[in-house]
Structure formats: C-alpha cells, structure tokens
Structure 1
C-alpha cells in the first residue's frame, strides 16, 4: 500500500502548472507546467496532508476504505534525504495507523507496534530517482516550447493567490498506454472510465492543493471489479519541513529478501 500511495503522490504532483493575469495559451500553460515541475523537484522539501477514499466493487456491493495521509519530505540534501509517511486507515469501523520512513538507504515500517526495516533499492528510493531526473529537468527548463496537445484537456480559473487548473485525461489515451505494457506477464486488464484532477498553484509557482478522481475497471479470468479513488491533498511548509528520525531505528528488525513464491505458493506451481 505504501508504494501505491507514494506512486499516486508522485503522479499527482507531476501535473502542477501556474498561470498569470493574461489569457493563457496552450504554450503558456506548457511552459508554466514545466516551471512547476522544476520548482517542485529542486525544492524537494515540503509537507503533504489530506485524505484518500478508495472503493472496490460496483454500486450493488462495494468495499470502502478512508485514509488520512501525512507525508514529510526533507530532501534538501539528496544524499541524505528523508521521507516520513503516516497513513491512518478506517475500514469496517476499525482504525489503524502505519508509519513508514525512508532514510539511510532503508525503509522503516511501524505498524501495530511491529517495527521492521528493509534495504530500499534505488528504483524505490525517491531521492535516487530525483538525482537522476534533475539533469533532465534542467535541460527542459531551457526549452521554450512545450507540447500540451493530446492526452488531456485543461481549463483554468484565477483564484485568490494564483490559479486553479482542471485536467481531464482522455480515457482512451490512458488505456492505449497501459495496453502497451500488458501481456502474458500482466494478466490483469485495466480499463479507465475517468481520470481528472485539479491543481492549485500560487504566485510563487508552487503547488498548494491537488484533487484527483480516478474510476477504472479491473479484470482477469478469475475476477472483475471496479476501482474508484478520490484524493484531496494539501502541500505546504516549503523549505521548512524537517523529518526527525525516531531514536530507536536500530531496534527495527531487518527483513531478509524473500522469494515472492514463498509468500504466494500457488504462483510457484
């Protein structure tokens, strides 16, 4: 679940754009979209909080889960970056809280007083990923042409401290992209029915709010279900966020790498 949430945050933040007082063209929005990506990546020090509501199933029978999310990112020094995530989940009237910390090349997890740690691979470490991406963003920042045609439609309105962008992704475009990665290795089919989001950007070209709605169907030969998600996140404390590591990280139990087939024996048959 923590990887899903981290992935959703990264995807959502990647849609930030900022406007000005004049009427914006697609080229204007494209340039401001690029600026916001560069600003977010170069800052890499902020707090995200908000809520995520997920439901599985159809209208006749569905399972709902409400989550409160708090994420602190302190990547001022990318070689020693830290990220703390707290996810509070409410389901079936039960509430649980899980805490995950990325630091020192480990991912530390504290769930129901079970404290464990795992070595985090570079592909799962947001700071390693960012160090590899920054040179590409620097090149993009020098490009004064950005293609915003296709893939999604957008509108914008001015708000008190900046601009609010609404982006609607065309379902057929999302499905076409996903179909390129689906084959024998990925038996589950994903069909997007709706994917849209709004982003508030302030006059400093910083994202302050993200709302995303996703509606999709998932199926394979053994099951089919609907998946809906509503996410509302606030971004704040740019440049002042500090991640304080717990003093007992040495006591977290190290988990050894395992073969996935050991956890899912039927897949090994």
Structure 2
C-alpha cells in the first residue's frame, strides 16, 4: 500500500538512531505491517535495515537475534545439537500466517513490537526466557524480560522513539526439553492458542507459556510437574480480562483449549515425550 502521508525516508540513519526522533516517525524494518494498512499519523520512516545488525549470533551464552533478522533467516538457522529446544525456532516460524514472500521481509523484532496475541516470535522468546535490549532516543539502554514487554493486544512498554535492538535467548533455556501445542481454525490460520511447556534437563520442573489465547503472554512455573488438578487451577487463576476475543475464538473457547492442551503437555513431559 502507498503511504501518501510520508514526506521523507531516512535511508542511512546513524549507527545509534534516535536522537532526532520526532512525532510522526516510525522505524522501518521489514515493513510488512507498515505497508499493509493506512498510517495517517506517520510523516517519516527511518530504515533500520541499512545498519547491518547481525541477524543471528550463536555462542556459549546462547543465541542473540538482531531485531532486523528476517523470519526466513531464523527458519534457516541450524542450532547446535545440544540446544534441545532448537526445533522450537522453526516451529514458531511455521506459526506465521503469511506467505514465503512475507517471510523474506518480515523481521523478528517487527513481529514482537507489533505485539499481537498471536505473534509467534513473542511465543518463542517468552517460552525460552529471552531478554530484550531496548534503545531509547536519549542514548540509554535497558534490558527487559520478554514476558514483561507485551502488555495487551497491540500494546507494549516501548516509549516514544524507543526501539528493540536485539533479543538474547540464554543457553540454559535452549537446552531445555520442549513440548508445544497450537490450535488454529484452519490449517494455515492464525493461532487461536499457542502453548509451550519447557523442562530443565535432570529435573521435573515445568515452565508453561500461554499465548495467542491471551492478550499478553502468561508464564506459569512449577518446581515439579503438577498433577492434573493443580495444573488446571493454574489456568483458572488467569484473570478473565486477559483472555482474548476475536473471530478465531471466544475467551471461553480459548480457556477450554488451553486447559485441554496443557494437560496433554503435562502428560507428555511426565512420559518423557519429544524433547
């Protein structure tokens, strides 16, 4: 879509963009959302892709993902064999409601900052206990837990002119066992619920991440895999106003699916199912 309110595109911003941020600006990475709908309040786009941020940097500490890393690049990444949770990277990419053309442009950071309930990069990074590095226009930096970033449907904690620079997934989370469940109304549809359970090697703990069915991510931690009743209670205490409603499902439907699939996750972990 043509954005007829845009009067300037900054193709080569400074290495640390932000000091000249002004009302009516927007960060441009993949642009798959920006160019999909009217943006009447925007006047200037600042292109982040020219900054050359490394898309993926694996290391002993874990995986660093540049905010401008494309979905295509993340999907093609081959994680080290000892990263047991590595297949979840591809699983999250496959949860996008998009074509390969969108994969070639859409970015990990863009999906996170759009902050929709069904954002699969949000599911991935919350489930794997990531931290987000945020840059403010005044030059300051802060790191926040992925869980705390999204606050509601299309809402997050970013201040005016603040941007997501990188995502850091710790090696400890990448070495966990994972079990996931995802439900859609159609085979290639948007997620109605997307749930991930992780377990630390050598323990019987459980970290359950609930997304897509809720307006913001929810994590529920257990020191050991609970019995069915305790797990169901953990879902029951999620506040009623956190469950999401849209054409893909009512809050009651999403709560029902979440309780059903979390029990499957619990049983699979107890039985020593797929890593």
Higher fraction of strand = 1
The structure, 1 or 2, with the larger RCO (C-alpha pairs under 8 Å, 6+ apart) is: 1
Tell me whether the two structures share a fold, i.e. TM-score over 0.5: no
TM-score range, shorter chain: under 0.3
Q: What's the TM-score, normalizing by structure 2?
A: 0.20
